[in-house]
A and B are shown apart, each in its own frame.
Chain A
Amino acid sequence: IQLTQSPSSLSASVGDRVTITCRASQGISSYLAWYQQKPGKAPKLLIYAASTLQSGVPSRFSGSGSGTDFTLTISSLQPEDFATYYCQQLNSYPRTFGQGTKVEIK
């Protein structure tokens, strides 16, 4: 299953609302997770089951969608949110990731 994220990169300011989309090449129900990765660090789980917030993750992060179309939203971008975001499908093997969306400072 191929996952296509859009955009591949974006520039935004602190306080902006940011939306990243992830489209699956076939239906994956709600078996989708979102991760944040900062340079030189391991990915960090943000959202699982498409819309469930991982414990300890700020509530400004939210996820939605099912089937083939999914969205990660950051309601008010904070300085620590500048990073690369990946979606991952866990509906079938092999587990696959989107190509990533880099969120940069405007």
Chain B
Amino acid sequence: QVQLQQWGAGLLKPSETLSLTCAVYGGSFSGYYWSWIRQPPGKGLEWIGEINHSGSTNYNPSLKSRVTISVDTSKNQFSLKLSSVTAADTAVYYCNRMVRGVPAYYYMDVWGKGTTVTVSS
């Protein structure tokens, strides 16, 4: 049974860089895309970006200038960095696994528990 465990700093000051890591346990790392989603307090879900085991990435254009997602296949881990954070980046950040099958069998089926990140001076 695949599980995702995520961690990272929960309190940041404006202009700092958010850094989160997600580790994959109990399943294959290759053959999937691995993504980050965030949810501001009381609001909906926002897709941040994704990466596969080869390091191919896709980012949300609204965040692309500040986001880097990377992968460490030796540890079955992937990471998120978001630079120059502001209070608007305060949210719960989730990592998850994205399946890309055919036909149209695209979905996010395994999720981390979420990390609360607060940006405050």
Cβ–Cβ contact A96 & B104, under 8 A: no
> Nearest chain A CB to B4's CB is how many angstroms away?
9
Interface residues on B, range: 20 to 34
Cβ–Cβ contact B44 & A98, under 8 A: yes
- Among the interface residues B44, B98, B113, which one has the most CB atoms of the partner chain A within 10 A? B44
Contacts of A31 in B (CB 8 A): 104, 106
Closest-by-CB residue of B relative to A47 is: B107
Q: Determine whether B61 belongs to the interface, using a CB cutoff of 8 Å to chain A.
A: yes
Cα A49 to Cα B37 in complex, Å, equals: 20
Cβ–Cβ contact A43 & B104, under 8 A: no
Cβ–Cβ contact A94 & B107, under 8 A: no
Cβ–Cβ contact A95 & B47, under 8 A: yes
Closest-by-CB residue of A relative to B98 is: A90
Given A94-B60, A94-B61, A94-B62, verify A45-B107 contact (CB < 8 Å). yes
Q: Determine whether B14 belongs to the interface, using a CB cutoff of 8 Å to chain A.
A: no
* Given A29-B104, A45-B109, A48-B109, 8 extra CB contacts under 8 A: A30-B104, A42-B94, A49-B105, A90-B107, A93-B60, A94-B60, A97-B45, A97-B47
